[in-house]
Amino acid sequence: MRKFTFPALLLCFGLLAQTAPLAFLAFDTRAAQPGRLPDGWRIKLTAGTPDVSVIGDGQGYVLRMKSRSASFGVERGVDIDVSKFPYLDWKWKVAELPRGGDFRHSRTDDQAAQVLIVFSDRRVLSYIWDSTAPKDTVQSASNIPLVHIFAFVCRSGAADLNQWVTESRNVAADYSRAYGHSAPNVKGIRLQINSQHTGTEAESYFGDVAFRSAP
């Protein structure tokens, strides 16, 4: 077995530190506790009654949301310089899609799972798991004047139902694509579910959510 001297070990760890991507964990399954939201997170209710819990799962302690003709989520404030942390990674699982959901029409604008990123200029990127809209659809998702929300369909339909899926997005590049200029700091993040427009039910789960310096 090869032996390393103490200076060599220090050099090795230094190289690892330089090459490993830095990260800010917005939702950490290892630090979460059952029965309560992690520090900094709060429920944001739009319609209906929220059904939110932190439960044990193979991923650790994960966030579970169940919507019955409701719209709600959990959110927290952050201050992320996307020039340093341009990548957003998260894990999600959908157990039930809102029947007939399609974000492209206001009367069916329901999704089992959304990740919304709010920037300091109040513009928003929405990464969604839609029931109907095709994967990789990219378009405005706001029907209200002066409200800027741009949606990216990451998953569509039931193909990956009941499976944990990992996503990775360059939010700095996505912001520039959506709004035509460089992204300011991220000021908030929301994990959301809604089924109030279709009057149906939906269920989803979220694991680790992190901003990273590299993919």
Q: What is the pLDDT of residues 165-178, one digit of tens each?
A: 999 999 999 999 99
Write down the mean pLDDT value for the chain.
89
Q: Distance (Å, rounded) from C-alpha 170 to C-alpha 84?
A: 11
At 21, the pLDDT band (50, 70, 90 cuts) reads low
Residue 13 maps to a domain: no
Residue 10 maps to a domain: no
For 53, the domain range is: 22-212
At 114, the pLDDT band (50, 70, 90 cuts) reads very high
Domain count, the chain: 1
Residue 9 maps to a domain: no
Residue 94 maps to a domain: yes
Residue 44 maps to a domain: yes
Residue 11 maps to a domain: no
pLDDT at 30: 87
Question: Which domain CATH number covers 64?
Answer: 2.60.120.260
For residue 49, with 0-12 CB atoms within 10 Å meaning exposed, 13-18 middle and 19 or more buried, which class applies?
Answer: exposed
Residue 178 maps to a domain: yes
Question: Which element (helix H / strand E) includes 171?
Answer: helix 171-179
- Name, in order, each residue with C-beta under 8 angstroms of 63's C-beta and a sequence gap of 6 or more: 27, 32, 37, 52, 53, 54, 74, 191, 205, 206, 207
At 7, the pLDDT band (50, 70, 90 cuts) reads very low
Q: What is the pLDDT of residues 183-209, one digit of tens each?
A: 999 999 999 999 999 999 999 999 999
Structure tokens at 175: 């912001």
Q: What is the pLDDT of residues 131-168, one digit of tens each?
A: 999 999 999 988 766 679 999 999 999 999 999 999 99
At 17, the pLDDT band (50, 70, 90 cuts) reads very low
Residue 99 maps to a domain: yes
